[in-house]
Chain A
Amino acid sequence: MSFPFLQSYLGLGSGLQTKNAAGGGGGGGGSGIGGWVELGRASGTGSSQTITVSSLANKRYYLVLSHCISSANIAPAMRLGNGSVDTGSNYAWRSSGNGGVENVYGNQSEGMRCDDNIANDNNDRLNTWYVSNFASKEKLMIGHSINRNSVGVGNAPRRGEAVGKWANTSSALDRIQINNTQNTAFGSDSEVVVLGYDPADTHSNNFWTELASTTLTSDSSTISSGTFTAKKYLWFQYYTRQTTGGFTLRANGDSGSNYHRRFSGDGGAENTATSAQLWGDYNAGKASFGNWFGVNTSSKEKLFIGHVNEVTTTGAGTAPSRIEVVMKWANTSSQVTSLAFNLRDAGTNFLAGSCIKVWGSD
Chain B
Amino acid sequence: MAWARLATKTLTSAGANISTDAFTGNKFNQILSHTFASTTAARDLTFNNSSASVYAVRKSDNGGADSTATSQSFAELRFNSNEDHLHIIYTCWVSSQEKLAVCHFVSGGTVGAGNAPNRTEVVFKFVPSPDESLTNVKFNKGSFVNFAIDSNIMVIGTD
Contact = CB atoms under 8 A, between A and B. Distances in A.
A33 to B, nearest CB: 4
Given A239-B92, A289-B100, A138 B56 contact: no
Contacts of A252: none
Contacts of B157: 29
Contacts of B4: 27-35
Contacts of B85: 140
Contacts of A288: 100
A27 B62 CA distance: 37
Interface in A97-154: 99, 101-102, 104-108, 130, 132, 134, 137-138, 140-142
Contacts of B58: 266, 319-322
B2 A210 contact: yes
Interface stretch (A157-165, A179-187, A338-346): A157-165
Contacts of A164: 106, 116-117
B105 A142 contact: yes
A34 to B, nearest CB: 6
Contacts of B111: 138, 167, 169
A255 interface: no
Interface string A267-288: 1000000000000000000011
A322 B65 CA distance: 12
Contacts of A237: 28, 90, 92
B4 to A, nearest CB: 3
A172 to B, nearest CB: 12
Interface stretch (A42-50, A88-96, A326-334): A88-96
A24 B117 contact: no
B contact patch SS: strand
B113 A134 contact: no
A126 to B, nearest CB: 16
Given A60-B34, A106-B116, A321 B121 contact: no
Interface in A4-25: 20, 22, 24-25
B148 to A, nearest CB: 10
A197 interface: yes
A197 B124 CA distance: 25
Interface stretch (A64-72, A75-83, A221-229, A303-311): A303-311
Nearest to B79: A163
Contacts, number: 248
Given A60-B152, A320-B123, A309 B101 contact: yes
A314 interface: yes
A161 B63 CA distance: 9
A107 to B, nearest CB: 5
Nearest to B54: A316
Contacts of B94: 239, 241, 353, 355
Most chain A beta-carbon neighbours within 10 Å: one of B53, B55, B62, B100? B100
A161 B119 contact: yes
B97 A241 contact: yes
Contacts of B34: 60-61, 132, 134, 140
A92 B100 contact: no
A89 B115 CA distance: 12
Interface stretch (A201-209, A243-251, A294-302): A201-209
Given A197-B154, A307-B102, 5 more contacts: A108-B113, A142-B106, A199-B152, A287-B98, A307-B104
Interface of A: 20, 22, 24-36, 60-61, 89-94, 96, 99, 101-102, 104-108, 130, 132, 134, 137-138, 140-142, 161-165, 167, 169, 197, 199, 201, 206, 208-210, 213, 237, 239, 241, 266-267, 287-289, 291, 307-309, 311, 314-322, 324, 353, 355, 357, 359
27 contacts: A28-B1, A33-B4, A34-B2, A61-B154, A89-B113, A105-B116, A130-B86, A140-B108, A142-B105, A165-B113, A197-B154, A199-B8, A239-B97, A267-B66, A287-B100, A289-B100, A289-B101, A309-B123, A316-B56, A316-B125, A318-B56, A318-B70, A319-B57, A319-B68, A320-B58, A322-B58, A322-B66
